[in-house]
């Protein structure tokens, strides 16, 4: 995927300690912790120049690795993986701003992407990296522990930058569904329909998010030429790897279709491709079709 040298989004909140990690998985350079911020404020209150402290490196030792913090900085992530996520988010903003304006005659409310490590607080409760990337409809933020992408590569054999971009675009897809009413509809059915029917609604919701990820890929490529040889295969490989049937087979050796909540590998690939090939949001009504 071509992403380097492009502007990142201003909607990234970096809650990771230690300034994040590099793509290879080695720890990045230490960032500015709460302690560092407090020291700078004190120095400024005393009329001093905090840059002397920063340059001298006196602050960096305050920060501990993997510290859970809710400090918000407006700085762009300084590690490669964080910058990558920021550029992909910007790409999704460009695509959905235009589609909302031109096809839906409304403004696109841009979601925030929260980068965290380990645990973080969300309006949907405690967010944990073990859950994988997720979207919280209550605060309309996307939460990702970027080490998930290493897991995608190591555990599911679905590496590559475009696979990671597909995952981010899928979570943005859930944000689109929140705006267009699909996720509220599925939630409203909870308790009114059987568990099997609820799971089927969940599958339809997930496949539509895959479709929207495909729509993103369609326009990002058309406008910015981001797709390189092999990229679509990377996304399809990721969609294939995290399908319910694959995950269940890996976990228990057999599949239980009624318990699927994300769709099969074939379905996930199909809907991503449909979005990618058409770029037409009207083709993505996974709730009406009998042919998932």
DSSP-assigned letters across all residues of 197-252: HHHHHHHHHHHHHHHHHHHHHHHHHHHH--PPTTHHHHHHHHHHHTSHHHHHHHHH
Give least dist CB 135 to Zn ion, A: 7
Comparison of 79 and 206: residue with beta carbon closer to Zn ion: 206
Give least dist CB 170 to Zn ion, A: 6
Give least dist CB 174 to Zn ion, A: 6
Give least dist CB 256 to Zn ion, A: 19
Comparison of 59 and 205: residue with beta carbon closer to Zn ion: 205
Look at strands 141-144 and 119-122 and give their pairing. Answer: unpaired
Paired residues of 286 in beta bridges: none
Element (H, E) at 166: helix 161-180
Q: Is 36:59 a contact under the CB 8 Å cutoff?
A: yes
Comparison of 14 and 206: residue with beta carbon closer to Zn ion: 206
Give least dist CB 219 to Zn ion, A: 20
The residues of the shown chain that bind Zn ion, judged by CB under 5 A, are: 206, 209
d(CA 150, CA 157): 10
Count of residues making up the chain:
292
Comparison of 110 and 206: residue with beta carbon closer to Zn ion: 206
Comparison of 169 and 227: residue with beta carbon closer to Zn ion: 169
Please give the sequence-ordered ranges of beta strands (E in DSSP) within 163-291, or none if there are none: none
């Amino acid at each position: 995927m071509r992403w380097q040298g492009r502007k990142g989004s201003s909607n990234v909140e970096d809650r990771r300690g230690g300034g994040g990690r590099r793509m290879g998985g080695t720890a990045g350079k230490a960032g500015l912790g709460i302690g560092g911020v407090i020291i700078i404020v004190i120095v400024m209150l005393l009329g001093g120049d905090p840059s002397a402290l920063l340059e001298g490196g006196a602050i960096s030792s305050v920060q501990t690795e993997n510290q859970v913090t809710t400090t918000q900085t407006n700085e762009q992530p300084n590690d490669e993986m964080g910058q990558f996520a920021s550029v992909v988010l910007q790409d999704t903003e460009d695509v959905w701003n235009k589609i909302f304006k031109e096809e839906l005659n409304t403004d696109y409310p841009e979601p925030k992407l929260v980068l965290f490590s380990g645990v973080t607080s969300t309006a949907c409760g405690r967010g944990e990296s073990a859950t994988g990337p997720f979207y919280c409809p209550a605060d309309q933020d996307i939460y990702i522990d970027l080490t998930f992408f290493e897991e995608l590569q190591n555990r599911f054999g679905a590496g590559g930058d475009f696979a990671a971009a597909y995952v981010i675009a899928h979570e943005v897809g859930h944000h689109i569904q929140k705006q267009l009413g699909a996720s509220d509809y599925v939630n409203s059915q909870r308790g009114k329909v059987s568990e099997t029917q609820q799971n089927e609604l969940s599958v339809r919701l997930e496949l539509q998010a895959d479709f929207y990820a495909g729509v993103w890929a369609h326009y990002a490529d058309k406008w910015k030429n981001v797709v390189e040889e092999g990229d679509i295969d990377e996304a399809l490989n990721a969609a294939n790897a995290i399908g319910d049937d694959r995950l269940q087979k890996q976990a228990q050796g057999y599949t239980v279709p009624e318990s699927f909540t994300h769709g099969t590998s074939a379905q996930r690939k199909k809907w991503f491709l449909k979005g990618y090939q058409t770029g037409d949001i009207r083709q993505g009504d996974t709730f009406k079709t009998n042919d998932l």
